[in-house]
């Protein structure tokens, strides 16, 4: 996975980076499971999918569709305990960079 600082370096070093319009349509919705894909989740958690990660959280949520039912403080603590990240924000930014890197092919 490419982290933000690595992503910037990778893009600068790449021979052919496509324009943003070729990899993402501004009006398109991006699902949470596209950003937190199986590759990302398996690399940074003991789970295989984001749905499994959410279902294991300290809430009644059973899938990514129910993530908003997990209380913020409980989710941050769960993320810190069960992932490679210190909190939700760090995990979100890493997942974003992973998603962007995959779209850019870097």
Residue 2 confidence (pLDDT):
44
Domain contains 2: no
Domain annotation covers residue 17: no
Q: Which domain holds residue 96?
A: 30-104
Written as six digits, the tokens of 70 are 């997990």
Q: What's the pLDDT at 79?
A: 97
Structural domain contains residue 4: no
Whether residue 24 lies inside any domain: the answer is no
Q: Does a structural domain hold residue 23?
A: no
Coil/strand/helix, residue 19:
coil
Does 11 map to a domain?
A: no
Residue owning tokens 């499994």:
52
9 inside domain: no
Is residue 47 situated within a structural domain?
yes
- Separation of alpha carbons 73 and 70, rounded Å: 9
Count structural domains, the chain. Answer: 1
Q: Is 16 exposed, middle or buried (0-12, 13-18, 19+ CB in 10 A)?
A: exposed
Model confidence over 46-101: pLDDT tens digits? 999 999 999 999 999 999 999 999 988 999 999 999 999 999 999 999 998 899 88
């Amino acid at each position: 996975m490419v982290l933000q600082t690595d992503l910037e370096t990778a893009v600068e070093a790449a021979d052919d980076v496509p324009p943003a319009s070729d990899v993402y349509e501004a009006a398109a919705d991006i699902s949470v499971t596209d950003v937190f894909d199986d590759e990302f989740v398996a690399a940074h958690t003991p789970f295989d999918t984001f749905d499994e990660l959410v279902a294991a959280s300290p809430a009644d949520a059973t899938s990514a569709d129910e993530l908003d039912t997990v209380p913020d403080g409980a989710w941050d603590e769960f993320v810190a305990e069960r992932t490679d990240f210190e909190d939700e924000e760090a995990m979100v930014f890493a997942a974003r960079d992973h998603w962007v890197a995959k779209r850019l092919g870097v």
